[in-house]
Amino acid sequence: MIYRNRAEWLAAENRRVLMFGMSGLGKTWLASMLRASPSGWFHYSVDYRIGTRYMGEYIADNFKREAMKNPFLRELLMSDSVYIASNITFENLAPLSTYLGKPGDPAKGGLSFAEYRHRQDQHRVAETSALLDTTHFISRAQDIYGLPHFICDSGGSICEVVDPDDPQDPILRELSAHSLMVWIEGSDAHTEELVRRFDRAPKPMYYQPGFLTRMWNQYRAERNEAEDQVDPDAFVRWTYRQALDHRQPRYAAMARNWGIAVKAEDVALVRDEKDFTSLIAAALPAA
Cα separation, 234 vs 102, whole angstroms: 10
The pLDDT-based confidence of 37 (bands split at 50, 70, 90) is very high
C-beta neighbour count of 172 within 10 angstroms: 22
Q: Which of 258, 253, 219, 259 is nearest to 239 (CA)?
A: 219
d(CA 211, CA 166): 19
Where do the domains of the chain lie, and which CATH numbers do they carry? Answer: 6-283 (3.40.50.300)
pLDDT at site 48: 93
Show Cβ contacts of residue 113 under 8 Å, excluding neighbours closer than 6 positions: 103, 216, 227
List the one residue out of 276, 200, 277 whose CA is nearest residue 237: 200
The per-residue pLDDT for 287 is 78
Report the C-alpha gap between 11 and 173 in whole angstroms: 24
Mean pLDDT (the chain) is: 93
Neighbours of 85 (CB within 10 A): 12
Contacts of 71 (CB under 8 A, 6+ apart): none
Q: CB within 8 A of 214, min separation 6: which ones?
A: none
207-266 pLDDT, tens digit per residue, is: 999 999 999 999 999 999 999 999 999 999 999 889 989 999 999 999 999 999 999 999
Its sign, for the CA torsion 218, 222, 224, 229, is negative
